[in-house]
Protein backbone atom coordinates (compact mmCIF):
# COMPACT_ATOMS: atom_id res chain seq x y z
CA UNK A 1 0.00 0.00 0.00
CA UNK A 2 2.78 2.37 0.91
CA UNK A 3 4.52 1.97 -2.42
CA UNK A 4 1.54 2.08 -4.68
CA UNK A 5 2.22 4.31 -7.65
CA UNK A 6 0.48 7.65 -7.87
CA UNK A 7 -1.47 6.80 -10.97
CA UNK A 8 -3.11 3.81 -9.29
CA UNK A 9 -4.90 5.97 -6.71
CA UNK A 10 -8.52 6.88 -7.30
CA UNK A 11 -7.55 10.45 -8.14
CA UNK A 12 -10.80 11.14 -9.91
CA UNK A 13 -12.32 11.45 -6.45
CA UNK A 14 -12.53 15.18 -5.61
CA UNK A 15 -12.30 14.44 -1.90
CA UNK A 16 -8.99 12.65 -2.24
CA UNK A 17 -7.63 15.46 -4.40
CA UNK A 18 -8.52 18.00 -1.72
CA UNK A 19 -7.03 15.86 1.05
CA UNK A 20 -3.74 15.54 -0.83
CA UNK A 21 -3.66 19.28 -1.49
CA UNK A 22 -4.23 20.02 2.18
CA UNK A 23 -1.60 17.55 3.32
CA UNK A 24 0.99 18.87 0.88
CA UNK A 25 0.17 22.46 1.89
CA UNK A 26 0.45 21.83 5.62
CA UNK A 27 3.82 20.16 5.75
CA UNK A 28 7.07 22.10 5.61
CA UNK A 29 7.86 22.76 1.97
CA UNK A 30 10.50 20.06 1.82
CA UNK A 31 8.72 17.44 3.92
CA UNK A 32 6.92 15.79 1.04
CA UNK A 33 9.65 16.17 -1.56
CA UNK A 34 9.95 13.00 -3.54
CA UNK A 35 7.04 11.39 -1.77
CA UNK A 36 4.19 10.11 -3.85
CA UNK A 37 0.53 10.45 -2.95
CA UNK A 38 0.31 6.97 -1.45
CA UNK A 39 3.11 7.76 0.98
CA UNK A 40 1.45 11.02 2.00
CA UNK A 41 -1.80 9.19 2.67
CA UNK A 42 -0.10 6.40 4.62
CA UNK A 43 -0.85 7.91 8.09
CA UNK A 44 -4.58 7.54 7.30
CA UNK A 45 -4.23 3.83 6.68
CA UNK A 46 -4.33 1.38 9.52
CA UNK A 47 -3.75 -2.32 9.01
CA UNK A 48 -6.73 -4.27 10.29
CA UNK A 49 -4.79 -5.74 13.20
CA UNK A 50 -3.68 -2.35 14.44
CA UNK A 51 -7.21 -0.98 14.24
CA UNK A 52 -8.50 -3.77 16.42
CA UNK A 53 -5.76 -3.88 18.98
CA UNK A 54 -6.35 -2.02 22.20
CA UNK A 55 -4.34 -0.78 25.11
CA UNK A 56 -1.83 1.06 23.00
CA UNK A 57 -1.03 4.71 23.53
CA UNK A 58 -3.25 7.06 21.51
CA UNK A 59 -1.42 8.69 18.65
CA UNK A 60 -1.27 12.42 19.43
CA UNK A 61 -1.64 13.23 15.73
CA UNK A 62 -4.95 11.43 15.39
CA UNK A 63 -7.07 14.51 16.08
CA UNK A 64 -5.09 16.44 13.51
CA UNK A 65 -5.83 13.68 10.99
CA UNK A 66 -9.53 13.66 11.89
CA UNK A 67 -9.70 17.43 11.37
CA UNK A 68 -7.79 17.47 8.12
CA UNK A 69 -9.85 14.57 6.73
CA UNK A 70 -13.02 16.58 7.39
CA UNK A 71 -11.46 19.83 6.19
CA UNK A 72 -10.93 18.03 2.87
CA UNK A 73 -14.58 16.95 2.90
CA UNK A 74 -15.48 20.62 3.37
CA UNK A 75 -13.25 21.74 0.50
CA UNK A 76 -14.77 19.15 -1.82
CA UNK A 77 -18.26 20.33 -0.81
CA UNK A 78 -17.20 23.91 -1.49
CA UNK A 79 -15.82 22.92 -4.91
CA UNK A 80 -19.20 21.45 -5.85
CA UNK A 81 -21.59 23.93 -4.24
CA UNK A 82 -19.68 27.16 -3.66
CA UNK A 83 -20.61 26.93 0.03
CA UNK A 84 -17.67 27.32 2.42
CA UNK A 85 -17.64 24.88 5.36
CA UNK A 86 -15.89 25.04 8.73
CA UNK A 87 -14.88 21.96 10.71
CA UNK A 88 -15.57 21.74 14.44
CA UNK A 89 -14.47 18.78 16.53
CA UNK A 90 -15.38 18.22 20.15
CA UNK A 91 -13.75 15.27 21.81
CA UNK A 92 -15.14 13.74 24.94
CA UNK A 93 -13.72 10.95 27.02
CA UNK A 94 -12.47 7.60 25.74
CA UNK A 95 -12.37 8.41 22.04
CA UNK A 96 -15.97 9.61 21.84
CA UNK A 97 -16.59 12.90 20.13
CA UNK A 98 -18.65 14.93 17.75
CA UNK A 99 -17.59 16.33 14.42
CA UNK A 100 -19.55 18.85 12.40
CA UNK A 101 -19.03 20.85 9.24
CA UNK A 102 -20.88 24.16 9.39
CA UNK A 103 -21.85 26.62 6.67
CA UNK A 104 -23.90 29.72 7.40
CA UNK A 105 -26.54 28.44 9.80
CA UNK A 106 -26.51 24.86 8.50
CA UNK A 107 -24.91 21.77 10.02
CA UNK A 108 -23.77 20.39 6.67
CA UNK A 109 -22.16 17.22 8.06
CA UNK A 110 -22.79 15.79 11.52
CA UNK A 111 -20.96 12.78 12.94
CA UNK A 112 -20.68 11.18 16.31
CA UNK A 113 -17.26 9.56 16.60
CA UNK A 114 -16.22 6.64 18.70
CA UNK A 115 -12.84 4.95 18.80
CA UNK A 116 -11.56 8.26 17.48
CA UNK A 117 -8.06 7.32 18.63
CA UNK A 118 -8.09 4.56 16.03
CA UNK A 119 -9.32 6.76 13.17
CA UNK A 120 -8.08 5.25 9.93
CA UNK A 121 -8.94 3.20 6.88
CA UNK A 122 -8.01 -0.20 5.50
CA UNK A 123 -7.11 1.12 2.08
CA UNK A 124 -6.91 4.29 0.02
CA UNK A 125 -10.12 3.20 -1.70
CA UNK A 126 -11.95 3.02 1.63
CA UNK A 127 -10.53 6.37 2.64
CA UNK A 128 -11.75 7.89 -0.63
CA UNK A 129 -15.16 6.23 -0.33
CA UNK A 130 -15.66 7.49 3.23
CA UNK A 131 -14.78 11.03 2.19
CA UNK A 132 -16.96 10.97 -0.92
CA UNK A 133 -19.91 9.65 1.04
CA UNK A 134 -19.68 12.58 3.46
CA UNK A 135 -19.31 15.01 0.55
CA UNK A 136 -22.46 13.62 -1.09
CA UNK A 137 -24.37 13.79 2.20
CA UNK A 138 -23.27 17.38 2.77
CA UNK A 139 -24.22 18.34 -0.75
CA UNK A 140 -27.73 16.98 -0.31
CA UNK A 141 -28.11 18.83 3.01
CA UNK A 142 -27.18 22.10 1.27
CA UNK A 143 -29.75 21.34 -1.43
CA UNK A 144 -32.35 20.68 1.22
CA UNK A 145 -31.64 23.79 3.31
CA UNK A 146 -30.11 26.26 0.85
CA UNK A 147 -31.19 29.38 2.72
CA UNK A 148 -29.70 28.23 6.04
CA UNK A 149 -26.47 27.19 4.28
CA UNK A 150 -26.06 30.60 2.68
CA UNK A 151 -27.21 32.66 5.66
CA UNK A 152 -24.59 35.32 6.34
CA UNK A 153 -23.13 35.52 9.86
CA UNK B 1 -21.67 42.24 44.36
CA UNK B 2 -20.59 39.05 46.06
CA UNK B 3 -22.93 39.56 48.99
CA UNK B 4 -25.98 40.69 47.12
CA UNK B 5 -29.03 38.93 48.47
CA UNK B 6 -30.72 36.27 46.39
CA UNK B 7 -33.97 38.18 45.98
CA UNK B 8 -32.17 41.14 44.40
CA UNK B 9 -30.99 39.12 41.40
CA UNK B 10 -32.97 39.33 38.16
CA UNK B 11 -34.36 35.86 38.72
CA UNK B 12 -37.21 36.36 36.34
CA UNK B 13 -34.67 35.87 33.58
CA UNK B 14 -34.97 32.24 32.38
CA UNK B 15 -31.34 32.21 31.31
CA UNK B 16 -30.06 33.07 34.76
CA UNK B 17 -32.32 30.46 36.33
CA UNK B 18 -30.88 27.79 34.01
CA UNK B 19 -27.33 28.92 34.69
CA UNK B 20 -27.83 28.68 38.43
CA UNK B 21 -29.42 25.24 38.11
CA UNK B 22 -26.48 24.02 36.02
CA UNK B 23 -23.92 25.45 38.42
CA UNK B 24 -25.61 23.96 41.45
CA UNK B 25 -25.94 20.59 39.68
CA UNK B 26 -22.31 20.44 38.60
CA UNK B 27 -20.60 21.09 41.90
CA UNK B 28 -20.15 18.42 44.53
CA UNK B 29 -23.36 18.24 46.53
CA UNK B 30 -21.91 20.14 49.45
CA UNK B 31 -19.87 22.70 47.51
CA UNK B 32 -22.64 25.29 47.29
CA UNK B 33 -24.21 24.64 50.68
CA UNK B 34 -25.07 27.92 52.32
CA UNK B 35 -23.99 29.92 49.29
CA UNK B 36 -26.50 32.24 47.75
CA UNK B 37 -26.99 32.74 44.03
CA UNK B 38 -24.76 35.80 43.89
CA UNK B 39 -21.84 33.85 45.34
CA UNK B 40 -22.37 31.04 42.86
CA UNK B 41 -22.32 33.52 39.98
CA UNK B 42 -19.25 35.34 41.28
CA UNK B 43 -16.76 33.49 39.00
CA UNK B 44 -18.61 34.98 36.00
CA UNK B 45 -18.04 38.51 37.24
CA UNK B 46 -14.84 40.33 36.49
CA UNK B 47 -14.10 43.77 37.86
CA UNK B 48 -13.44 46.20 35.03
CA UNK B 49 -9.76 46.53 35.91
CA UNK B 50 -9.17 42.80 35.81
CA UNK B 51 -10.89 42.50 32.45
CA UNK B 52 -8.60 45.03 30.91
CA UNK B 53 -5.34 43.93 32.44
CA UNK B 54 -3.15 41.75 30.30
CA UNK B 55 -0.18 39.51 30.75
CA UNK B 56 -1.72 37.50 33.53
CA UNK B 57 -1.97 33.74 33.45
CA UNK B 58 -5.17 32.48 31.79
CA UNK B 59 -7.59 31.00 34.28
CA UNK B 60 -7.84 27.26 33.46
CA UNK B 61 -11.54 27.27 34.39
CA UNK B 62 -12.45 29.92 31.85
CA UNK B 63 -13.35 27.43 29.12
CA UNK B 64 -15.55 25.56 31.55
CA UNK B 65 -17.33 28.85 32.35
CA UNK B 66 -17.74 29.67 28.66
CA UNK B 67 -19.28 26.26 28.03
CA UNK B 68 -21.61 26.30 31.00
CA UNK B 69 -22.75 29.86 30.19
CA UNK B 70 -23.74 28.67 26.70
CA UNK B 71 -25.19 25.40 27.98
CA UNK B 72 -27.53 27.58 30.06
CA UNK B 73 -28.42 29.58 26.94
CA UNK B 74 -29.28 26.25 25.28
CA UNK B 75 -31.44 25.13 28.21
CA UNK B 76 -33.35 28.42 28.18
CA UNK B 77 -33.90 28.03 24.42
CA UNK B 78 -35.13 24.48 25.01
CA UNK B 79 -37.50 25.68 27.74
CA UNK B 80 -39.08 28.16 25.31
CA UNK B 81 -39.06 26.16 22.07
CA UNK B 82 -38.78 22.48 22.99
CA UNK B 83 -35.68 22.28 20.77
CA UNK B 84 -32.66 20.67 22.45
CA UNK B 85 -29.34 22.44 21.78
CA UNK B 86 -25.75 21.20 22.06
CA UNK B 87 -22.80 23.48 22.78
CA UNK B 88 -19.59 23.18 20.76
CA UNK B 89 -16.54 25.31 21.50
CA UNK B 90 -13.42 25.43 19.39
CA UNK B 91 -10.57 27.47 20.78
CA UNK B 92 -7.79 28.72 18.57
CA UNK B 93 -4.68 30.59 19.58
CA UNK B 94 -4.55 33.67 21.81
CA UNK B 95 -8.09 33.57 23.16
CA UNK B 96 -9.77 33.41 19.76
CA UNK B 97 -12.40 30.80 19.27
CA UNK B 98 -15.78 29.87 17.96
CA UNK B 99 -18.82 28.87 19.93
CA UNK B 100 -21.97 27.36 18.46
CA UNK B 101 -25.20 25.92 19.78
CA UNK B 102 -26.56 23.24 17.45
CA UNK B 103 -30.00 21.69 17.16
CA UNK B 104 -30.86 19.17 14.47
CA UNK B 105 -29.19 20.65 11.40
CA UNK B 106 -29.41 24.26 12.56
CA UNK B 107 -26.68 26.47 13.99
CA UNK B 108 -28.97 28.08 16.56
CA UNK B 109 -26.33 30.40 18.06
CA UNK B 110 -23.02 31.29 16.43
CA UNK B 111 -20.33 33.39 18.09
CA UNK B 112 -16.76 34.21 17.35
CA UNK B 113 -14.94 34.77 20.62
CA UNK B 114 -11.90 36.86 21.29
CA UNK B 115 -10.24 37.53 24.59
CA UNK B 116 -11.90 34.30 25.66
CA UNK B 117 -9.45 34.02 28.53
CA UNK B 118 -11.07 37.12 30.02
CA UNK B 119 -14.64 35.91 29.60
CA UNK B 120 -16.77 37.62 32.25
CA UNK B 121 -19.27 40.34 33.00
CA UNK B 122 -19.29 43.54 35.00
CA UNK B 123 -22.45 42.69 36.88
CA UNK B 124 -25.09 40.03 37.29
CA UNK B 125 -27.42 42.23 35.24
CA UNK B 126 -24.97 42.29 32.34
CA UNK B 127 -24.49 38.53 32.62
CA UNK B 128 -28.25 38.03 32.51
CA UNK B 129 -28.66 40.46 29.59
CA UNK B 130 -25.95 38.75 27.56
CA UNK B 131 -27.55 35.36 28.10
CA UNK B 132 -31.07 36.57 27.35
CA UNK B 133 -29.92 38.25 24.15
CA UNK B 134 -28.44 34.97 22.93
CA UNK B 135 -31.59 33.10 23.92
CA UNK B 136 -33.74 35.57 21.95
CA UNK B 137 -31.43 35.31 18.92
CA UNK B 138 -31.52 31.51 19.06
CA UNK B 139 -35.28 31.50 19.35
CA UNK B 140 -35.67 33.66 16.26
CA UNK B 141 -33.28 31.39 14.31
CA UNK B 142 -35.43 28.37 15.22
CA UNK B 143 -38.52 30.28 14.06
CA UNK B 144 -36.78 31.12 10.82
CA UNK B 145 -35.49 27.60 10.09
CA UNK B 146 -37.88 25.28 11.96
CA UNK B 147 -37.37 22.29 9.70
CA UNK B 148 -33.57 22.37 10.01
CA UNK B 149 -33.83 22.80 13.80
CA UNK B 150 -36.07 19.77 14.14
CA UNK B 151 -34.30 17.58 11.60
CA UNK B 152 -33.55 14.23 13.20
CA UNK B 153 -29.94 12.95 13.10
Interface confidence, given as ipTM, is 0.84
B90 vs A: CB within 8 A: yes
Angle between helices A124-144 and A62-81 (to 10 degrees): 50
pLDDT averaged over every residue in chain A: 86
Higher pLDDT residue, A53 or B37? B37
Q: Give me the sign of the Cα torsion angle A137, A139, A145, A149.
A: positive
pLDDT averaged over every residue in chain B: 85
Q: Is the pLDDT of residue A134 over 50?
A: yes
> pLDDT at position A3, please?
46
Q: pLDDT grade, residue B38 (50/70/90)?
A: confident
H or E element at residue B91: strand B86-91
Strand partners of residue A111: A99
Name which of A99, A105, A110, A141 to mutate to probe chain B: the one with the most chain B Cβ atoms within 10 A of its Cβ: A105
d(CA B33, CA B110): 35
Q: Is the pLDDT of residue B74 over 90?
A: yes
Q: pLDDT grade, residue A58 (50/70/90)?
A: low
Of A56-65, A72-81, B102-111, the poorest mean pLDDT is in A56-65
* pLDDT tens-place string over residues B91-114: 887 788 999 999 999 999 999 999
Chain A residues within 8 A of B153 when measuring between CB atoms: 110
Say if the Cβ atoms of B145 and A147 lie within 8 Å: yes
Amino acid sequence: MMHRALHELPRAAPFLKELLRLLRAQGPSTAWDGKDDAEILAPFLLPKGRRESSGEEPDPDVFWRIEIFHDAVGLAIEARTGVVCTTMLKMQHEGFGRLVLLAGRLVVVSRFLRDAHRFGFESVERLADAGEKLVAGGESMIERFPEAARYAQ
